[in-house]
Chain A
Amino acid sequence: MGSTSTKIKLRTSDQKVFEVEKAVAVQSQTIKYIYENGCPDSVIHVHSVSGDILSKILDYCKKHVNSAAGKEDISPEELYEWDANFVKVDQNTLFDLILAANCLKIESLLDLTCQTVANMIKGKRPEEIRTTFNIKNDYTIEAEEAVRRENKWAFDMLGGVGTMVIEELADDTMSKCVTNTKSRVCVIAANQIVMMRSISKLANKKSIDVYKQPQNPTTPRIKESVKQRNVGTGFIELFFHFKCKM
């Protein structure tokens, strides 16, 4: 038997044992470290993760390992959709997934789940955010008013009048890919060029594959070479078509 079918045993906080292929398990940097620095045959304890959550996480890891290895015929957009469905869970489960992804150090899952939480925050007023996440407002009335005033008076932006910041991406697909946390894949239509102004959109991404979709849909995608620049936050600079908000 080759090393690709090596199995690793994981025991959860509620004493459930999972036997997983090594390639899948080592998506977790924590498990990888323990496996490589400990006894390969023993069971690894994942204390802070329950059986239900670990089961879901292993589904995720398996899906991603298989797609990357080409074992599953799944396009980047299909994987993106699969991820989107993966996080359609109740809030408790979502939070458990975040904590587990953090503790197990599975970067792409952490990105995906945190992005999902971020999407629950966007567009909401503070009161609505508090309700969504059941957060107690510990500001005094005066303190809250002072923060609101500073936000509005100093840092307020108009809807679109005369702002010269060029930041939004023209293409919806583009936008989805960029804000999709997990995405190590970005599909751009042929001949579309976009100027990436807002570096923070791709903050924390260490590497990203860019596929150029040719105009003829039967032609296979071409993988573009990617420029990587490490300037503290570690971002990738790509070129996209831009829309000027004037």
Chain B
Amino acid sequence: MQKKTAYSFPDEILEHVFSFIHSGKDRNAASVVCKSWYEIERWCRRKIFVGNCYAVSPTMVIRRFPDIRSIELKGKPHFADFNLVPDGWGGYVLPWISEMAGAYPWLEEIRLKRMVVTDESLELVAKSFTNLQVLVLFSCEGFSTDGLAAIAASCKNLRELDLRDSEVDDLSGHWLNHFPDTYTSLVSLNISCLGSDDVSFSALERLVGRCPNLRRLLLNREVPLDKIANLLSRAPQLIEFGTGTYAAELRSDVYSNLAEAFCNCKELKCLSGFWDAVPAYLPVIYSVCSRLTSLNLSYAPIQNPDLTKLVSQCPSLQRMLVLDYIEDSGLEVLASSCKDLQELRVFPSDPFGEEPNVSLTEKGLVAVSSGCPKLQSVLYFCRQMSNAALVTIAQNCPNFTRFRLCLLDPKIADYRTLQPLDVGFGAIVEHCKDLRRLSLSGLLTDRVFEYIGMHAKKLEMLSVAFAGESDLALHHVLSGCESLRKLEIMNCPFGDKALLANAAKLETMRSLWMSSCSVSLGACKMLGQKMPRLNIEVMDEKGPPDSRAESDPVDKLYIYRSVAGPRFDMPPFVWTMDEDFASELS
């Protein structure tokens, strides 16, 4: 029987069908089906994600999608987190806000990551998007509390304000006062990054008291411990709470008030903050522990046995962030108590010390991998590792999606055999077929890259430093990793040859970062000519590339695909290697 075609549907029906399709991937697929689907889909797409703000221009986005309500933008490359991207590099959100102000008056959600956000941008947001409900500024910078005041004053429908890890200039703690008394819609507030004068506590108290739907509140470090009980008593409906400083002289009234306040928060599932935590006040959260699914102690200098005791009372834990004070013994307790654990991050308490200050080794991670069958995501800082341990971990956890190992001495070998750690990481990629993100460290030769190219077929993001011996390493990764989207490399001895041989691969990736490697200026220019649709940006604070020889290695290289062509907001120390580069300078 002849199948009916969807053409017999009026547009409004197709639009109604599309209203049930939410993922960008599915909508992208629908837009390619035929021209009428493209048209209908673009008018009813409400949410977009732009993984690299320079891959497309705001004009192009607006032209294609006339009615967006939710946008997420990412700016600087990931290595900006490690101060490798100099100030002024770019990632400015103002051009986006300026164009969207006119085009998207109904915009409801703005999420930005690693972008430069100015007070001017925030003021424009406040003025233009009266319906704004969500503003997330993740690792952003360039703005002050004045910008926040503008948002507070104008955005009557704001539900979520999240400033996580952003750098904010503190000018006045009174920005919170700019939320009008009639404003009661707050659901989520994260001000954990703010400095000492940035928050007027009384304004915060009043705000919390009048927002009955507040579910998530992450305070900044300066909120003292003795103020927390009062705050919590105004918001017993919280699901997620981040304390301020968790240290104070032990006083029985403060202690009992805190204990009672925590006890009354019957829905509390996630805790964080705990700056400078002292053991004396830990027991106040015991009443919450059995329910906790997420615990972030990465700012808490508490040690065993207090730390282990706390952990042993949290059987529902799914996500744990902690300093290496937990030691192998604590991780063993974690492994036996927390069978639902999915994510573990262990941070170094003394990363620059010559000698280890704690007994945290590969054994802790092996214990957790053995005891926690649901473990999927790991970020682990430690000082020693062995291939045998990595093989065991890989066999224990074939479901890993993210594995990031950071050995504090970047080129350290297997401490038992003195061999490189190639085999260990090879086991990780071989057993963990769903691995999407991997960070390598330790002594590594070209072999590990051979294993990665051979096995890591779902790998999307790879971070490499001080590894490999030749261009073959880079070639293995570029030619073998079919799903690779983000590659970031520092201090590795490659590779003109590998880059030029795999130039086409770069158009299948979101971006490539290489710093302090052996990529010559000449190769960059050649790549620029060969691949005109890539933006090949050379960064060098010492001076313009034309003043140096073709064979000189470039300091930093950032390559990304773009449908918007080269950008024009580059600072003086960034040059684009496009086809005209050579002729422009002569």
Contact = CB atoms under 8 A, between A and B. Distances in A.
Interface of A: 91-92, 95, 98-99, 102, 110-111, 114-115, 117-119, 121-126, 129-130, 133-139, 143-144, 147-165, 179, 181, 191, 193, 195, 197-201, 203-204, 231-233, 239, 241, 244, 246
A198 B22 contact: yes
B38 interface: yes
A18 to B, nearest CB: 24
A135 B34 contact: yes
Give me the 7 closest cross-chain CB pairs, A-B, nearest first. Answer: A154-B56, A118-B20, A126-B32, A151-B28, A134-B3, A133-B6, A114-B17
Nearest to A192: B267
Interface of B: 1, 3-10, 12-13, 16-26, 28-35, 37-38, 46-51, 55-56, 60-61, 64, 69-70, 72, 78, 106, 108, 111, 113, 131, 134, 136, 138, 157, 187-188, 213, 215-216, 239, 266-267, 269, 294, 319, 343, 377, 401-402, 436-437, 458, 460-461, 483, 485-486, 510, 561-563
Most chain B beta-carbon contacts within 10 A, residue among A99, A111, A151, A204: A151
B461 A161 contact: yes
Contacts of A203: 19, 46
A80 B23 CA distance: 23
B436 A157 contact: no
A66 B382 CA distance: 64
B137 to A, nearest CB: 11
Given A159-B436, A231-B131, A134 B267 contact: no
Given A195-B239, A233-B69, 8 more contacts: A95-B8, A111-B16, A117-B17, A129-B33, A130-B34, A136-B5, A154-B56, A161-B402
A149 B533 CA distance: 11
Nearest to A232: B106
B485 A158 contact: yes
| Chain B contact residues: helix, strand, loop or mixed | mixed
Contacts of A151: 28, 31-32
Given A157-B51, A160-B401, A164-B138, A231 B3 contact: no
Contact of A155 (B1, B48, B216, B485): B48
A91 B21 contact: no
B22 A200 contact: yes
Contacts of B10: 102
A5 to B, nearest CB: 34
Contacts of A124: 26, 29
A125 B25 CA distance: 9
Contacts of A136: 5, 34
A232 B68 CA distance: 13
A127 to B, nearest CB: 9
A130 B134 contact: no
21 contacts: A92-B3, A92-B4, A102-B12, A111-B16, A115-B20, A118-B21, A121-B29, A123-B26, A124-B26, A125-B29, A126-B32, A135-B34, A159-B436, A159-B483, A160-B401, A164-B72, A164-B136, A193-B215, A232-B106, A241-B269, A246-B377
Given A118-B18, A122-B23, A197-B134, A153 B215 contact: no
Contacts of A150: 56, 60, 64, 563
A188 B343 CA distance: 26
Given A91-B3, A158-B460, A99 B8 contact: yes
Nearest to B23: A122
A126 B29 contact: yes
Contact of A200 (B5, B33, B46, B61): B46
A155 B49 contact: yes
Contacts of B13: 98-99, 102, 114
B13 to A, nearest CB: 6
A121 B9 CA distance: 15
B228 to A, nearest CB: 21
Nearest to A136: B34
Nearest to B57: A154
Contacts of B138: 164
Given A149-B563, A153-B563, A110 B34 contact: no
Contacts of B377: 246
